[in-house]
Structure 1
Amino acid sequence: MTAEGTVAPLRVVIAGAGRFGELHLRAWQEAAAEVVGVVDVDPARAEQVASRWGVGRHGASLADVLERTPADAVVVASDEGSHSSLADGAIARGCDVFVEKPFALSTQAAERTAAAAAAGGREVVVGQISRFAQPYRYLRSALQDGLLGTLWATRLRRDFSRAWFADFGDRVHPVWESCIHDIDLAVFLHGEPATKVYASESGAAGDAAPSVISAIVTFASGATSTIESAWTVPARGPQSLAGLLALDGSIDGEVQVIGSAGTARQRLIGDALTVWTDELSLAPDLSLWPEEDGRVGGALRSEVAYAASVFRRERANTLMPLEQAVWGVAIAEAIVESARLGRPITL
């Protein structure tokens, strides 16, 4: 509380000043947080973003910025390989953490971060944005309300533009870049840990990293989930990533839920808004981060508002429990291992 009895704004440091980090900065400012620092491995980029948004502190080291700037929370929006070290460093300095997907690149690292957060009384919210998009929240509610009966199986597919694979698809194993969304949706819908994973992969789009991945995941109840991802959509696919962060290219995805009393399905492109002109073809996904009345909207706005309320201790972290984030990392790691060894992995 401030001297006047009002609640002090949440003080946030953004770690990662790329396109998505800057979008996060805007979303957190619009959520009434005070962004007090910007960190990036490129100090010039950190300075540029900080200057553009009126943030006083910036630098290349999260530890240095936190040493000089009191903060309540750190938003980790950097490259995948740095998520764990930045999250652990923020927790060690008494901060809550919002960490973009993937939570970690190994189960061991995920469990270490979760244990540190529990020991220090810190909250960690993982940025699995699909949980905050209304179609998927509806699917989970339909299951919880009994509309579809007992959950028997889920099928999840997400295909990316082939050009994106050449640009960044091999930055990490694509399981951590693309499949992690659908792995988390499977955990979100099934609500339990997996017991077995069997996966295969191929380098159809190039040999730098696997570009086609298929996995069958068995959950504790015996229900199954089929998870597929391919970075193979050709150049003439419609542009689908729209809103305040738009990229040329396509994400063509589908989720199907199969229950004892019914089924439900969500498609990203087949049933989407479409715009065709002589110059372009659009199927804009407006669920993620559209601009609404001059503000960041959609799932990103909901996700940031949720994390801020968790960090203010206004609500418990029930929508993205850290335990489930660890389950997702374990499944992703098992998919990589199963495809490498050519046999099922028991969890």
Structure 2
Amino acid sequence: MTEPTVVVAGVGRFGALHVRVWTEAGARVVGLVDPDTGRLAEVAAAHRVEQIGTDLADLLDRTRPDIVVIASDEASHAGLAVTALAAGCHVFVEKPLALSAADAWRIADVAQTHRRQVVVGHISRFTAQMTRMRAAVDRGAVGTLCALRLRRDFSRAWFLSFGDRVDPVWESGIHDIDLAISFARTRVRRVVAMRSAAAGAAAPSVVTALLEFDSGVIATVESAWLVPATAPGTLDDGPLALDGAIVGEAEVLGLAGILKQRLVSDSLVEWTAAGTQVPDLSLWPEEDGRVGGALRREIGYALAVFTGERQPDVMPVEQACWGVEVAEAIIESLRTGAPVEPAGR
């Protein structure tokens, strides 16, 4: 695969960013798919992509790409992934892999049948901080792993504008579910979760979940889309500008040590006429005119997996399936108020 060819399905803001980053990483984007024909034409013109369409199967028949990148709405991930795999393509799919454990494992099975790879876009795994923390755990720096604490808060305005597209567990919680799995590296055997009744209409966005892994490790995953507009912005500029903030923390607790990481750091603060910014330099910062950070590393990893240069060791598809099982169990626990055992295969 000298110059891998790519079709991108879904050309919203993040899909358009994928077009740019895959191109910068050395792939050639040969087609775009989206139901919004106006947006489709706009992104195709901006990136000089000739082949476009509203139906993935038809476009794959015309372009025969090596890779399909799925950056569409969450509910469409499973169907598009199966279509791409059946057509003989490797698949990169933005998180979550699917909205049910049954669909997630179906994707994994179809990939195995067609001898193709699936990489799921759990970008937090690819930040420099999380990569270093996992390496520290692997070399025994914290001793026996006991517990994980993961928290991620989003701007309140984001919940009002797009947070109810799917249950926020799939939008924000899935990041930290995946990080917990990346450290524990076993399945979760029990989940109990609660929403804040005090949050009123915002209750769906305020969730705490307790996960118990097969290894005995426990993890707390918390998410609240309540960050006020007065908070310093973290993603207000760059290749994917979002007016607001992601504020989070991660802790890894072992018998011999503790690791801590914060998403918002005062190592760089900008006080300007636009207000106070604490710019995030980990996810997709622009570096020398190219997109860098975790997104660039993630796509570089996916290309290496798809071209056979490395094994799918950083983001194994089965771990993405475990994450979908856990998210599904959290949502069921929120519905019933009772502990839930995630559905296994």
State the TM-score bracket (shorter-chain normalisation). Answer: over 0.9
User: 1:170 Cα deviation (Å)?
Assistant: 0.4
Contact 2:155 2:244 in 1 (8 A): yes
Contact 2:252 2:259 in 1 (8 A): yes
Identity level (%): 56
Aligned to 1:46: 40
> Aligned partners of 1:256, 1:236: CA distance in 2, in Å?
26
Which runs of structure 2 are paired with 1:139-288 in the superposition (5 Å)?
139-202=133-196, 207=201, 210-241=204-235, 242-288=237-283
Q: What SS does the aligned partner of 1:264 have?
A: strand
| Aligned match for 1:344, one of 324, 328, 339 | 339
Q: What SS does the aligned partner of 1:97 have?
A: strand
Aligned to 1:309: 304
User: 1:314 Cα deviation (Å)?
Assistant: 1.1
Q: What SS does the aligned partner of 2:204 have?
A: coil
| Matched residues, number | 341
Instruction: Return the letter of the residue paired with 2:337.
Output: G
Contact 2:195 2:203 in 1 (8 A): no
Which runs of structure 2 are paired with 1:36-185 in the superposition (5 Å)?
36-185=30-179
Label 1:282 to 1:115 Cα distance change in 2 as closer, same or farther (>3 A).
same
Aligned to 1:320: 315
> Aligned partners of 2:233, 2:201: CA distance in 1, in Å?
25
Q: TM-score, normalised by structure 1?
A: 0.96
- The runs of 5 or more residues in structure 1 that have no matched partner are 1-6
Contact 1:170 1:208 in 2 (8 A): no
> Aligned partners of 2:270, 2:97: CA distance in 1, in Å?
35
> Aligned partners of 1:131, 1:45: CA distance in 2, in Å?
30
Label 1:203 to 1:31 Cα distance change in 2 as closer, same or farther (>3 A).
farther
Matched, 1:290 2:312: no
Q: What SS does the aligned partner of 1:240 have?
A: coil
> Aligned partners of 2:54, 2:44: CA distance in 1, in Å?
12
Aligned to 1:4: none
User: 1:346 Cα deviation (Å)?
Assistant: 1.6
Q: What SS does the aligned partner of 2:234 have?
A: strand
Aligned to 1:3: none
Contact 1:162 1:205 in 2 (8 A): no
CA-to-partner distance for each residue in 1:160-184, whole Å, 9 max, x for gaps? 1111110011000000000000000
> Aligned partners of 2:9, 2:242: CA distance in 1, in Å?
22
Single out whichever of 54-63 and 268-277 deviates more from structure 2. 268-277
> Aligned partners of 1:112, 1:209: CA distance in 2, in Å?
32
Single out whichever of 96-105 and 273-282 deviates more from structure 2. 273-282
User: 1:70 Cα deviation (Å)?
Assistant: 1.3
Question: What is the root-mean-square deviation of aligned Cα atoms in Å?
Answer: 1.3
Aligned to 2:294: 299
Contact 1:170 1:209 in 2 (8 A): no
> Aligned partners of 2:25, 2:74: CA distance in 1, in Å?
25
> Aligned partners of 2:36, 2:70: CA distance in 1, in Å?
15
Aligned to 1:24: 18
> Aligned partners of 2:100, 2:268: CA distance in 1, in Å?
37
> Aligned partners of 2:273, 2:49: CA distance in 1, in Å?
42
User: 1:270 Cα deviation (Å)?
Assistant: 4.6
User: 1:206 Cα deviation (Å)?
Assistant: 5.4
> Aligned partners of 1:341, 1:104: CA distance in 2, in Å?
22
